[in-house]
C-alpha cells in the first residue's frame, strides 16, 4: 500500500506526543527545563555529527574539508528565498490557527512547540528518500524506522514543550504524503549525490533547531528550509 509509511509515521508522532504530555505533567517546571536542555543538546550533536560527516573527508590520514561552497550557497540562497516567502511567519500563523481550532488558545507554548517539533521531524534525508521509495516501490522500511525515531523524539519534546509537539504530525503527513504522490517525478533528481547534499545541509538545520531549544529562538530555521531544495539540485 503506497503511503502506508507516512500513515504509520503520522500516528507514531501523535502517540509520542500524547505519552510525552502524560509524563511531562508528572514533572515540575524545573525538571521540564532540564529535559528540554538535554533534548536540545542531543539535537545539536546529532546535527553536528551529520554535518561534519558531509563536510570532512579523510585522505591519507589527513582530514580535508569538502562541500563548503555548497553549504554557503545553499544556506545563503535558501535563507534569502525563505525570508522572501516568509515561511517562518506562515508556519507560525498556521500554528496559531491550529491553537485556536483545537481549543488550546490559552497555551502560550503551543506555537513554539509545534514549530520546533515540525522542523525536527520534517528536516532530513529519511523523510525524502523514504517517501520516494514508498511512492515508487511501496517500500515502507525507511519511513517505519523514521516513525520509531520520531516517536521517541516527540515523546521527549512533548514532556518539556507541551502538546503542540503532537500536532507536528500534520505537516509531516502533508510533506511526506506529497513527496510520495509525486515520487515518479522526483526520482531522477534524487541521486546519491543529491542525498549526500541533503543530509549535510539538513544536518546543519537540525543543529540550528538544537540551538533554539537550548537558548531560545535565535535562528529562523523555517526560513532556511529552501536550502534543502538548493542542496538537492546542486551540481557544482
pLDDT given at position 75:
95
pLDDT for position 176: 92
pLDDT tens-digit profile, the chain (236 residues): 778 999 999 999 999 999 998 888 787 778 878 888 888 888 898 889 888 888 888 777 777 888 889 999 999 999 999 999 999 999 999 999 999 999 998 898 899 999 999 998 988 778 888 888 888 888 888 899 899 989 988 998 898 888 999 999 999 999 999 988 887 777 777 788 888 888 899 899 989 988 988 887 788 999 999 998 899 888 86
**pTM of this structure:** 0.84
pLDDT of residue 93: 95
Answer yes or no: are the C-beta atoms of 227 and 75 closer than 8 Å. yes
Q: Which residue reads 537540525 in cell numbers? A: 206
* Structural domain for 227, as ranges: 4-233
Give the count of beta carbons closer than 10 Å to the beta carbon of residue 152.
12
Q: Is the dihedral of CA 68, 74, 77, 80 positive or negative?
A: negative
Q: What string of H, E and C letters represents the secondary structure of 121-190?
A: HHCCHHHHHHHHHHHHHCCCHHHHHHHHHHHHHHHHHHHHHCHHHHHHHHHHHHHHHHHHHCHHHHCCCC
Residues in CB range of 206: below 8 A, 6 or more apart: 43, 46, 47, 50, 120, 123, 124
Q: What is the pLDDT of residue 233?
A: 87
Give me the number of domains the chain comprises: 1
The region that residue 165 occupies, defined by phi over 0 for left and psi between -120 and 50 for alpha, beta otherwise, is alpha
Instruction: Please give the pLDDT value at position 117.
Output: 93
pLDDT of residue 95: 94
pLDDT at 77: 95
- Residues 19 and 87: their CA atoms lie apart, in Å, by 30
d(CA 90, CA 115): 11
Grid cell of 236 as nine digits: 557544482
Amino acid at each position: 500500500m503506497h503511503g502506508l509509511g507516512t500513515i504509520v509515521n503520522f500516528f507514531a508522532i501523535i502517540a509520542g506526543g500524547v505519552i510525552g504530555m502524560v509524563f511531562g505533567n508528572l514533572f515540575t517546571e524545573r525538571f521540564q527545563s532540564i529535559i528540554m536542555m538535554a533534548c536540545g543538546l542531543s539535537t545539536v550533536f546529532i546535527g553536528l555529527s551529520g554535518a561534519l560527516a558531509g563536510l570532512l573527508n579523510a585522505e591519507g590520514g589527513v582530514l580535508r574539508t569538502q562541500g563548503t561552497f555548497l553549504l554557503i550557497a545553499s544556506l545563503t540562497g535558501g535563507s534569502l528565498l525563505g525570508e522572501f516567502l516568509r515561511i517562518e511567519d506562515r508556519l507560525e500563523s498556521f500554528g496559531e490557527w491550529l491553537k485556536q481550532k483545537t481549543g488550546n488558545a490559552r497555551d502560550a507554548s503551543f506555537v513554539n512547540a509545534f514549530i520546533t517539533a515540525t522542523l525536527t521531524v520534517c528536516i532530513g534525508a529519511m523523510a525524502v528518500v523514504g517517501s520516494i521509495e514508498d511512492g515508487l516501490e511501496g517500500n515502507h522500511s525507511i519511513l517505519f524506522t523514521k516513525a520509531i525515531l520520531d516517536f521517541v523524539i516527540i515523546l521527549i519534546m512533548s514532556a518539556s514543550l507541551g502538546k503542540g509537539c503532537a500536532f507536528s504530525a500534520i505537516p509531516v503527513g502533508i510533506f511526506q504524503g506529497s513527496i510520495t504522490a509525486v515520487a515518479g517525478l522526483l526520482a531522477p533528481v534524487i541521486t546519491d549525490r543529491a542525498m549526500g547534499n541533503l543530509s549535510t545541509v539538513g544536518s546543519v538545520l537540525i543543529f540550528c533547531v538544537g540551538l533554539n531549544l537550548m537558548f531560545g529562538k535565535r535562528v529562523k530555521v523555517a526560513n532556511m528550509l529552501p536550502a534543502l531544495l538548493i542542496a538537492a539540485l546542486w551540481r557544482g
